[in-house]
């Protein structure tokens, strides 16, 4: 049995929820729902769980702490999660969380009919909730809120450009786009989409190949790409054509 395959019950994210509130937000909200089902902490008639940002990151090691903070703040701003402080010590500011299910239902209950669970079967087991600690966490400043809005805007812009030039985005592609945004930046992801569109290669595997080439060649910005193009004008001939043909053949073999 591979160590990368698990027999536990997977965490499934409905595409309709991710479309409404964002992929990262949907993952956190679904996991919070799972924790709340197991919670024995009841205050004011609601179940609550508590967690530090460090604990969140241990559950989602593929995200940075800032990414998690942005997603949680986004959910708070949307009113989908409610935070509180039920710690015994007055100086303890560990956050407590619950879901506002009425607010969530008001957005329109996602239909599971004819909707594929296309997001990967991430298995996130119930964590050992850390005890509230006597440590105060600084709230997001105006600057971080602006950063969150900018990040969401860029994500939506890339998704829109992909759908306009390449095709429909499914869950796997959405996750990979987010990965490459974090890996290379928004501008290079857009550039890869443009290159694929201009060459008539309207499939994700081709774009992914371009992004992998960027990474292997040490290209981390549009300026790096421009410099590389200027340094290699002679490679526009037969060698490049042969390389592109070999690359196309490789991509086609993957899709067969």
| pLDDT tens, position by position, 108-165 | 654 444 444 433 433 333 344 444 433 333 344 434 434 544 455 556 678 788 888 8
**Closest residue by Cα to residue 37 from 51, 48, 53, 27:** 48
CA pair distance 23, 181, nearest whole angstrom? 14
The residue with greater pLDDT, 123 or 36, is: 36
Least confident window among 121-135, 184-198, 236-250: 121-135
pLDDT value at residue 75: 94
Task: Quote the tokens at residue 62.
Answer: 């593929």
pLDDT value at residue 14: 81
Q: What is the mean pLDDT of the chain?
A: 74
pLDDT value at residue 222: 84
pTM for this prediction: 0.43
pLDDT band at 63 (very low <50, low <70, confident <90, very high): confident
pLDDT value at residue 238: 56
Instruction: Please list the residues that pair with 43 across neighbouring strands.
Output: 46
104 pLDDT more than 50: yes
pLDDT value at residue 76: 92
Give percent of the chain with pLDDT exceeding 90.
Answer: 14
Least confident window among 2-6, 132-136, 223-227: 132-136
Phi/psi for 41 (5° steps) reads -90, 105
Cβ neighbours, 10 Å, residue 181? 18
Query: What are the strands of the beta sheet with 81-84, ordered from one edge?
Result: 41-43, 46-50, 96-99, 81-84
pLDDT value at residue 19: 86
pLDDT value at residue 241: 60
| Mean pLDDT, residues 5-31 | 77
pLDDT value at residue 232: 62
What are the structural domains, with CATH classification, of the chain?
Answer: 15-140 (1.10.10.10), 144-255 (no CATH)
pLDDT value at residue 250: 62
Q: What's the Rg (C-alpha) of the chain?
A: 22
The residue with greater pLDDT, 197 or 157, is: 197
Give percent of the chain with pLDDT exceeding 70.
Answer: 65
């Amino acid at each position: 049995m591979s160590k990368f395959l698990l027999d536990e019950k997977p965490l499934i994210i409905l595409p309709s929820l991710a479309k409404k509130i964002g992929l990262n937000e949907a993952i956190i909200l679904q996991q919070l729902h799972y924790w709340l089902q197991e919670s024995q902490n009841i205050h004011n008639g609601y179940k609550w769980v508590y967690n530090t940002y460090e604990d969140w990151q241990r559950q989602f090691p593929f995200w940075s702490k800032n990414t998690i903070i942005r997603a949680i703040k986004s959910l708070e701003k949307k009113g989908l999660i409610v935070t509180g402080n039920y710690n015994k010590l007055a100086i303890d500011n560990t956050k407590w969380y619950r879901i506002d299910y009425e607010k969530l239902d008001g957005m329109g209950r996602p239909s599971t009919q004819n909707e594929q669970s296309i997001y990967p079967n991430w298995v996130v087991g119930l964590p050992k909730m850390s005890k509230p600690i006597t440590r105060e966490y600084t709230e997001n400043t105006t600057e971080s809120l602006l950063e969150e809005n900018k990040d969401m805007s860029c994500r939506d812009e890339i998704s829109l450009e992909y759908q306009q030039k390449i095709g429909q985005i499914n869950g796997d592609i959405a996750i990979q786009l987010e990965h490459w945004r974090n890996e290379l930046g928004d501008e290079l992801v857009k550039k890869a989409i443009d290159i694929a569109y201009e060459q008539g290669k309207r499939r994700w595997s081709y774009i992914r190949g371009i992004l992998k080439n960027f990474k292997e060649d040490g290209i981390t910005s549009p300026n790096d790409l421009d410099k590389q193009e200027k340094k290699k004008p002679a490679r526009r001939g037969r060698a490049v054509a042969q390389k592109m043909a070999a690359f196309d053949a490789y991509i086609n073999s993957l899709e067969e």
